[in-house]
Structure 1
Amino acid sequence: MKNHKKAAIWLTIFFFFITSFPRISSAQGVTIDDDTLKQVYQYVEEQFTNKDILGGSYGIIYNGEVIEAKGIGVTDLETEEKVTPTTLYPIASVTKPFTAMGILYLYNQGMLDLKDTVTTYLPWFQYADVEKSSQITIENLLTHSSGVNRFEADGAIYQNEKQNRASLESSIRALSSVEMESNPGEQGEYCNTCYTTLGHIIEKVTGQPYEEYIEETVFSTLGMGHTTFTPEENHDDLASEYSWFFGQQSKTERNYAVFGKSQQSEGGAYSNIEDISKFVTRLVDTNSANIVPPDLLQYAHENGVPLASNEKRFYTLSGFESEDFLEHKTLYKGGDGIGSTSGILLFPEEKLGIVLLIGEAESEVKQPLLQGIASILLGERPEPIDLTWSLWKILGFIALGILGIALILLFLLSFSLRKNIKRKFVLKRKWPYMVGGVLYLLLAIFLGYFLLTMRPSQVGFFGFPWDFAISVMVLIFTFFLWSITLFFSLFEHVKRHKMNISI
């Protein structure tokens, strides 16, 4: 009996001793232990601090297991509520791999073929070149190789937002005037509207709304209970969305409210780090894939079309961008919302995945930060991140500069007007006033035309950030006032000159 007790005691001590060791895995160059995970957390926290990022979360997935899911910072600058792994963020274009997975599922079920033309399911589909449009396949859409320029295609939707935001179909029909720059399948050029079209094909094949199909086929299957296209129905842990206004962090309109139904299949989902990590486990550990067979998923990861800008990288059939990093094959997908940033970096051969969600528009930092985390896990020193300001912050300070110039011109205008009134509009030379009046008027007309017709995006004022638009409008008003004042001064001078002659 005593021997049995002694054996039980020693067995308990043995198991305690074994389980007290840090988690360690170094297969295929990946190191996962407590010290490494601590280093990752410190690294991410340091980058957030240096970049003045208010909050976000990251996840590490290895060998089919979610190793880490951490929140950093706050969800809102006013409430200062802490970010948790369940905090919901708009994931923007990280939605695309979900759409690709939905298409691959339908292919595996025999409900469509990747070589099918788009017109097989949407007979009315076309760009400006009807003949070339009829050759575009589902595969071309998945690999961003339909042949159109992203900005021209997106811009076609911006021309009538009220109509084109209403549904996937209405936004696709707006593409009929878009010119094709290359033949289908020839080269990859990022294409939001390609995935909009894929979403509508899913609707036609299944007879279900896109959102309903993806929620049933992907989200529910993978246990992604918080991932949704209707975040307004889930406010428990929904982060605020931030951008920049005159160089300062400012809440922005929510992603789903701006884009509506027209962007659901290319960038409309909201998720958290826990849910996306569940998705990533199926992407890096093909043995556990339960939506499509492992061989099909691997085929989708490894086949695609090279980017027009870089033939060493290519867009895959799985919705990711493939390239090498530290001599490892990787798959990357980034998302940029109006007030959010997201990214996934996969190392399929190492069965490693990293996910990043940020609660503000910080496009430039996502891929370097993901690569920095990967470097630590692969035993390398992370490269310093170029902590330049984000595009939106730069535009904010440019807007401040424009506003400053406009205010200086207004001050000079008032000074000049007082001076002319004091002189009773007797001018030494008339031609500077005439040339200046015409020049300022032309500048006002040019800037007004630029602001109302350029439409670079679907946000803010006619596609421009609000701070930039406000500053330009003040400058237009200033130029117009200068023009009117100079012409008025010239008119008064001529009038007084005629009166003097008559006297």
Structure 2
Amino acid sequence: MYTFARRTFRYLMLTIVAALVSSVVSFPLLAQPSFDTAQLDTFVKEIMDAYDVPGVGLAVVENGEISYVRGYGVRDVTTEAPVTPDTQFAIGSTTKSFTALGMMLLVEEDLVDLDTPVRTYLPEFKLSDPESTRTATVRHLLSHTTGLVRTDASTFDTSVTAADVIEAAATTPLVGKPGEVFVYSNVNTIIAGEIIERITGRSWEDFTRERILEPLGMSTATLSIEELKRQDNVALPHVLDVRNGLQTTDFLISEADAPAGAINASAAEMARYVRFQLGDGAPLVSQASLMEMHKGQVAAPDFSLPGTVAARAQAVAARPEDVPPALVTDAEYGFYWGVERFLGEKLVQHSGNVDGLTANVTLLPESRSGVVVLANAEGANIFIETVRLHVAQLLLGRSSPDVNAILQAQLEVLGQDNASRKADLEAARTYQPERAELVPWAGTYESLADPQPTQVSVVGGRTLMLESGFQAVRFSVELLPLGGDRFIATSQPLTGFVVRFVEGEGGRTIELETLLGAQPLAVRCGTDN
């Protein structure tokens, strides 16, 4: 139960990450890079240091050829074993694009039609609205436009099966009719994976390995944590403990959720995947199918990585005169790919976040180029964003703007830039409050995520204890004071999150500060103690 709660909150609201050290391992190149590799290496190491990332796998494809693959830092802070181009990383939701590709293989074999209702392939499939049940198609699954809201039970409870997920869809709230609204949900991908299994009579894992991974030469990529642990060269997941620094943590195990996030691969192998997606690798599907996957199907302003559209919008609202122009614009969603514009160029990208690991693949299809960034640090979204856009800039032959400076300027308005983050960590380690400073926050609050109330109590006169829950799973979290109404969580499932007690007209609200804005956790009517 504890693990379920910890993973649920980390998965939904990832924010800060783990520490550094860099080493470089050579890799045989198929093409000469057009950029200064020494300068790129220096940049990556500096950004790793700034964002507390222990290890990175990086791959660059230019004009359809692999031009650069490097490992930086360590795959395990306890052993200091170096990351190499062949180090395996869990790539999380980047896996979804493999599931979309698997579906397109079946489309080209006339076994699946994108615009045929899901019920044609899964007769038991139902949504909470009868009309939506009839009209939801495979296309809607692949573009997250079924109308289903996000639920993650299968991600955190290995006893949940795909059949359970399909059954639960019948009672899950809908935010719109199929095709109307983008709402990112693993449920859509689990159902898509079940269609693949139903049509082929094979497991999603076997189908993906034999029809995609092996033809692309991704021979050491794995499809489960059990397989991954049998590998010798593996990046361990890391989280940042507020008091003790970087710590390794457990891998997130996928079961029913596998089509949405189970693949583990190296930077070298993902470079081959990028070449294929650009139309320069093994011809698994037609160019028309690649273009269909990479085409925006629906507006998706909330899908862009934290630090771009969402963070900038809040920053503009707070201090419009201080916020630089947006780096990424025109966010849409294709078939398990995000589609956006950067410096006038179309980017096709997808990230993945699992416990202690973060990944991204970005394609520049108009120039047949791309970049892979893999990190063994939890919630390293801004690090990933900085590196992927910097490399995209190099691939476009542009020397400006300063991507990192712009992201920091946007985040500074929100108090979530690196300087603010590190100041919070230092305050948490050194600040010694008086008990009287903490007493006003103690009390009983109505939880917004759990039927049981949230309790806040003073412990030892120096810290608070937050007892809350999520979807009926209870947990206790220690809060270290940062001064005033701000605290930082030092224990799972919220390690590293800043918690605020906000006074408003409706009473006092407990909020989590994230890159997507304040997330209300609980509220107490009135202001009595």
CA offset at residue 278 of structure 1?
0.5
Structure 2 partner of 1:290: 283
Which of 220, 236, 243 is the aligned partner of 2:239?
A: 243
Structure 2 partner of 1:102: 102
- Please say if residues 87 and 235 of structure 2, whose CA atoms lie closer than 8 Å, have aligned partners that are also in contact: yes
Q: Which moved more, 1:87-96 or 1:38-47?
A: 38-47
Which of 365, 376, 385 is the aligned partner of 1:359?
A: 376
- Please say if residues 400 and 471 of structure 1, whose CA atoms lie closer than 8 Å, have aligned partners that are also in contact: no
Which letter maps to 1:45? K
More strand by share: 2
Overall identity of the aligned pairs, in %: 23
Closer, same or farther: CA 379–447 of 1 in aligned 2, 3 Å: same
CA distance in 2: counterparts of 1:79 and 1:36, whole angstroms: 31
Closer, same or farther: CA 23–129 of 1 in aligned 2, 3 Å: closer
TM-score, length of structure 1 as denominator length? 0.71
- Please say if residues 332 and 338 of structure 2, whose CA atoms lie closer than 8 Å, have aligned partners that are also in contact: yes
CA distance in 2: counterparts of 1:82 and 1:297, whole angstroms: 35
CA offset at residue 290 of structure 1?
1.5
Deviations 1:195-222 (A, max 9, x none): 1111111111111111111000100110
> Quick check: which has more Rg, 1 or 2?
1
More helix by share: 1
- Please say if residues 468 and 476 of structure 2, whose CA atoms lie closer than 8 Å, have aligned partners that are also in contact: no
Which of 169, 172, 184 is the aligned partner of 2:163?
A: 169
**Does 1:373 find its partner at 2:375?**
no
TM-score, length of structure 2 as denominator length? 0.68
After TM superposition, list the pairs within 5 Å mapping 1:25-104 onto structure 2.
32-33=33-34, 36-104=36-104
CA distance in 1: counterparts of 2:491 and 2:423, whole angstroms: 9
- Please say if residues 128 and 180 of structure 1, whose CA atoms lie closer than 8 Å, have aligned partners that are also in contact: yes
**Does 1:336 find its partner at 2:336?**
no
- Please say if residues 192 and 266 of structure 1, whose CA atoms lie closer than 8 Å, have aligned partners that are also in contact: yes
Closer, same or farther: CA 178–466 of 1 in aligned 2, 3 Å: farther
Gaps of 5+ in 2: 1-28, 303-308, 310-328, 447-451, 457-465, 478-488, 498-529
Question: Secondary structure in 1 aligned to 2:182?
Answer: coil
Closer, same or farther: CA 72–131 of 1 in aligned 2, 3 Å: same
Closer, same or farther: CA 443–231 of 1 in aligned 2, 3 Å: closer
CA offset at residue 124 of structure 1?
1.8
CA offset at residue 374 of structure 1?
1.4
Deviations 1:426-449 (A, max 9, x none): xxxxxxxxxx9xx96635973249
CA offset at residue 252 of structure 1?
1.5
- Please say if residues 55 and 72 of structure 1, whose CA atoms lie closer than 8 Å, have aligned partners that are also in contact: yes
Which letter maps to 1:297? L
After TM superposition, list the pairs within 5 Å mapping 1:130-149 onto structure 2.
130-149=130-149
**Does 1:446 find its partner at 2:450?**
no
Question: Secondary structure in 1 aligned to 2:298?
Answer: strand
Structure 1 partner of 2:222: 228
Which letter maps to 1:89? F
Which letter maps to 1:216? E
CA offset at residue 118 of structure 1?
1.3
Deviations 1:354-382 (A, max 9, x none): 10000111122212220011112322225
- Please say if residues 240 and 251 of structure 1, whose CA atoms lie closer than 8 Å, have aligned partners that are also in contact: yes
Question: Secondary structure in 2 aligned to 1:203?
Answer: helix
Which letter maps to 2:190? T
- Please say if residues 399 and 468 of structure 1, whose CA atoms lie closer than 8 Å, have aligned partners that are also in contact: no
- Please say if residues 158 and 256 of structure 2, whose CA atoms lie closer than 8 Å, have aligned partners that are also in contact: no
Structure 1 partner of 2:256: 262
Structure 2 partner of 1:211: 205
Gaps of 5+ in 1: 1-21, 26-31, 414-435, 473-503
Which of 300, 324, 330 is the aligned partner of 1:312?
A: 330
RMSD of aligned residue pairs (Cα, Å): 3.7
Closer, same or farther: CA 404–127 of 1 in aligned 2, 3 Å: farther
Question: Secondary structure in 2 aligned to 1:344?
Answer: strand
Question: Secondary structure in 1 aligned to 2:168?
Answer: helix
Which of 249, 253, 261 is the aligned partner of 1:252?
A: 249
CA distance in 2: counterparts of 1:410 and 1:45, whole angstroms: 44
- Please say if residues 283 and 289 of structure 1, whose CA atoms lie closer than 8 Å, have aligned partners that are also in contact: no
- Please say if residues 60 and 355 of structure 1, whose CA atoms lie closer than 8 Å, have aligned partners that are also in contact: yes
CA offset at residue 186 of structure 1?
1.0
Aligned residues: 405
Closer, same or farther: CA 225–400 of 1 in aligned 2, 3 Å: farther
